[in-house]
């Protein structure tokens, strides 16, 4: 009996041991499989990260290749890399207002899918020595006269007649130094403008529409430009972002509640309502009127191009207490006895550049550079040529990150990134 019980006990013990052994083997198998899977997953993720880094490097190299090319417009083309038909980049360069845009899309073909990474960069120029100066005043054989609390910081290119203190109706110059910087002689003409850029801008006034105006439009720079054209465009509360061009045969009106980012605007007459804020490039031929308390973020542009004889001379007006960061310019393409007019009203600030082939009525302040034919001042019932009163022109207050548009011609220009676009 005892012998029988022992046999039964050892059989059950043996069966239980086998069962537990199977469980242990199963657990070991699960753990081993998990470890293998985890190792494979980590290796896959590492490979994917490596591929992402590779695509990023290839697209950045493509951008650098486009920067090295002086041409403002380059049609899209493809480059196969490493002669393995696995990696490639598609490159394109195009004009966008007075700036340029570089587009680079990098591709990598795996056994399962085609990976890609794109970069779109707005390009600008590092300012030249003259563009880093506070003033470039064309030599018109008249001195620059300053009065009141006028303050000039930075180098100044002035007529040979120089600069002197003045007084207007008893208001003399309160400063100790006329220019806080070096003074050099200017030429009889302003620095040369990029003529190709002006031709490009003039051509943009004659475009055909491919998009109607809607309440909200966003367009990537990887896609075709959307052109919204009409005789008159009145914008009140629309949202427009990206690769969009507004083109009117007569007038564009931008209300203060409109949201705009990176948009181009072309029209004979452009009106910007008081209080508007945005980032735009606006180009007019007759009148560009910027209201009060307008804020235009960098890199914004306001440009007036006189291209024909008009009953009333073209005018660009920047309203009281407005703040413009970027470029303000007037280009005179049609010369006669009358010049266009640029008015920068009291309390207005421009950080960047002002370039005017005309006389500038300056009551606001310039943080950066102003280049013009002459200054004009109204004081009471009197008017004064080449006079400044109670204004600040300070080259050192312009951001060190500021890049100029492709507007003023430069020898051996150095190109940099203005910002990344979508």
Average pLDDT over residues 154-183: 91
Q: What is the mean pLDDT of residues 166-192?
A: 90
Average pLDDT, the chain: 87
- The CA distances from residue 158 to 89, 179, 370, 373, 400, in Å, are 49, 11, 12, 11, 24
Within a domain: residue 235?
yes
> Is 179's pLDDT higher than 70?
yes
Say if residue 120's pLDDT is above 50: yes
Say whether pLDDT at 54 is over 90.
Answer: no
Q: What is the pLDDT of residues 352-388, one digit of tens each?
A: 999 999 999 999 999 999 999 999 998 777 888 999 9
pTM of the model: 0.86
- Looking at the predicted structure, is the pLDDT value of residue 11 above 70? no
Mean pLDDT over residues 386-404, rounded?
95
Q: What local confidence, expressed as pLDDT, does residue 39 receive? A: 57
**CB atoms closer than 10 angstroms to residue 22:** 10
Lowest mean pLDDT among 19-28, 344-353, 361-370, 396-405: 19-28
Q: Comparing 39-53, 82-96, 209-223, 325-339, which segment has the lowest mean pLDDT?
A: 39-53
Q: Residue 235 above 80 pLDDT? A: yes
Question: In the predicted model, what is the mean pLDDT of residues 81-104?
Answer: 86
How are the residues of the chain apportioned to helix, strand and coil, as percentages rounded to the nearest 5? 20, 45, 35
123 occurs within a structural domain: no
Highest mean pLDDT out of 88-92, 204-208, 263-267, 303-307: 263-267
149-152: Cβ within 8 A, 24+ apart: 149/174, 149/175, 149/390, 150/175, 150/388, 150/389, 150/390, 150/391, 150/392, 151/175, 151/180, 151/391, 151/392, 151/393, 151/394, 152/178, 152/179, 152/180, 152/181, 152/392, 152/393, 152/394
Rounded CA-CA distance 182/167 in Å is: 24
Supply the DSSP string of 253-276, one letter for each residue.
Answer: EE-TT-EEEEEEEEEEEEEE-TT-
* E-state strands within 86-210: 87-96, 99-109, 114-125, 135-137, 144-147, 151-153, 156-158, 163-165, 183-185
What is the average per-residue pLDDT within 385-401? 95
**What proportion of the chain, given as a percentage, has pLDDT over 70?**
85
> Mean pLDDT throughout 210-231?
94
Tell whether the model's pLDDT for residue 84 goes beyond 80: no
Residue 89 lies in a domain: no
**Which among 353, 362, 358 has a CA at the least distance from the CA of 395?**
353
Q: How far apart are CA 387 and CA 347, in angstroms?
A: 18
pLDDT exceeds 90 at position 27: no
Q: What is the pLDDT of residue 306?
A: 84
Give domain status of residue 99, yes or no: no
Distance CA 269, CA 352 (A): 24
Joined together, the tokens standing for residue 315 give: 């005018």
**Residue listed under structure tokens 């082939």:** 357
Cα–Cα distances in angstroms (integers) from residue 42 to residues 30, 117, 308, in the given order: 18, 22, 67
Share of the chain above pLDDT 90, in %: 61
Q: What is the pLDDT of residues 34-52, one digit of tens each?
A: 666 665 555 544 555 666 7
Greater confidence (354 vs 310) lies with: 354
Does 86 reside within a domain? no
In a domain, 26, yes or no: no
Q: Which residue has the tokens 């045969």?
A: 249
Closest CA to 268 of 289, 299, 239: 289
Q: Where does residue 155 rank: exposed (0-12), middle (13-18), buried (19+ CB within 10 A)?
A: buried
**More confident position, 77 or 364:** 364
- Residue 310 scores a pLDDT above 80: no
Rounded to an integer, the average pLDDT of 136-154 is: 95
C-alpha distances (whole Å) from 367 to each of 110, 255, 327, 391 are: 52, 27, 11, 11
Is 9's pLDDT higher than 60? no
Residue-level pLDDT at 45:
47
Q: Which domain holds residue 137?
A: 130-406
Most confidently predicted of 38-42, 56-60, 196-200 = 196-200
Query: How far is it, in rounded angstroms, from Cα 395 to Cα 352?
Result: 9
Q: Locate tokens 């005309």: which residue?
A: 358
* Range scoring the smallest mean pLDDT among 39-43, 139-143, 249-253: 39-43
Total domains, the chain: 1
Q: Which residue has the higher pLDDT, 87 or 389?
A: 389
Residue 137: inside a domain: yes
φ/ψ of 253, rounded to 5, equals: -120, 125
- The yes-or-no verdict on residue 12 having pLDDT over 70 is no
Does 114 map to a domain?
no
Q: What is the mean pLDDT of residues 164-168?
A: 88
Per-residue confidence band for 125, with pLDDT thresholds at 50, 70 and 90: very high
Residues 279, 273 contacting (CB under 8 angstroms) = no
């Amino acid at each position: 009996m005892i012998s029988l019980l022992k046999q039964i006990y050892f059989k059950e013990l043996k069966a239980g041991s086998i069962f537990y052994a199977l469980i242990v083997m199963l657990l070991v198998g699960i753990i081993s499989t998990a470890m293998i899977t985890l190792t494979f997953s980590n290796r896959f993720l590492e490979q994917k990260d490596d591929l992402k880094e590779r695509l990023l490097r290839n697209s950045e190299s493509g951008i650098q290749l486009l920067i090295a090319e002086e041409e403002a417009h380059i049609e899209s083309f493809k480059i196969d890399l490493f002669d393995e038909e696995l990696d490639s980049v598609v490159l394109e360069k195009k004009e966008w207002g007075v700036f340029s845009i570089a587009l680079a899309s990098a591709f990598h073909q795996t056994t399962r899918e085609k990976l890609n990474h794109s970069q779109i960069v707005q390009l600008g120029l590092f300012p030249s020595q003259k563009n880093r100066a506070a003033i470039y005043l064309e030599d018109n054989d008249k001195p620059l006269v300053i009065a009141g609390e006028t303050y000039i910081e930075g180098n100044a290119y002035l007529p040979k007649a120089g600069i002197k203190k003045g007084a207007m109706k008893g208001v003399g110059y309160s400063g100790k130094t006329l220019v806080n910087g070096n003074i050099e002689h200017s030429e009889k003409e302003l620095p040369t403008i990029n003529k190709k850029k002006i031709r490009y801008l003039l051509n943009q006034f004659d475009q055909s529409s491919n998009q109607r105006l809607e309440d909200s439009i966003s367009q990537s720079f990887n896609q075709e430009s959307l052109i919204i054209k009409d005789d008159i465009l009145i914008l009140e509360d629309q949202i427009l972002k990206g690769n969009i061009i507004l083109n009117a045969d007569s007038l564009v009106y931008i209300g203060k509640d409109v949201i705009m980012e990176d948009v181009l605007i072309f029209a004979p007459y452009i009106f910007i309502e008081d209080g508007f804020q945005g980032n735009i490039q606006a180009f007019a031929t007759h009148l560009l009127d910027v209201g009060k308390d307008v804020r235009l973020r960098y890199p914004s542009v306001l440009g007036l191009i006189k291209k024909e004889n008009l009953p009333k001379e073209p005018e660009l007006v920047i309203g009281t207490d407005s703040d413009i960061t970027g470029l303000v310019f007037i280009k005179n393409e049609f010369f006669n006895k009358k010049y266009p007019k640029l008015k920068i009203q009291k309390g207005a600030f421009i950080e960047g550049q002002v370039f005017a082939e005309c006389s500038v009525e300056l009551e606001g302040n310039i943080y950066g550079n102003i280049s013009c034919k002459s200054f004009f001042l109204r004081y009471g019932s009197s008017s004064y040529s080449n006079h400044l009163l109670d204004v600040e022109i300070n080259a050192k207050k312009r951001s060190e990150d500021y890049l100029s548009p492709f507007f003023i011609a430069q020898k051996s220009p150095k190109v940099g990134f203005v910002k990344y676009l979508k």
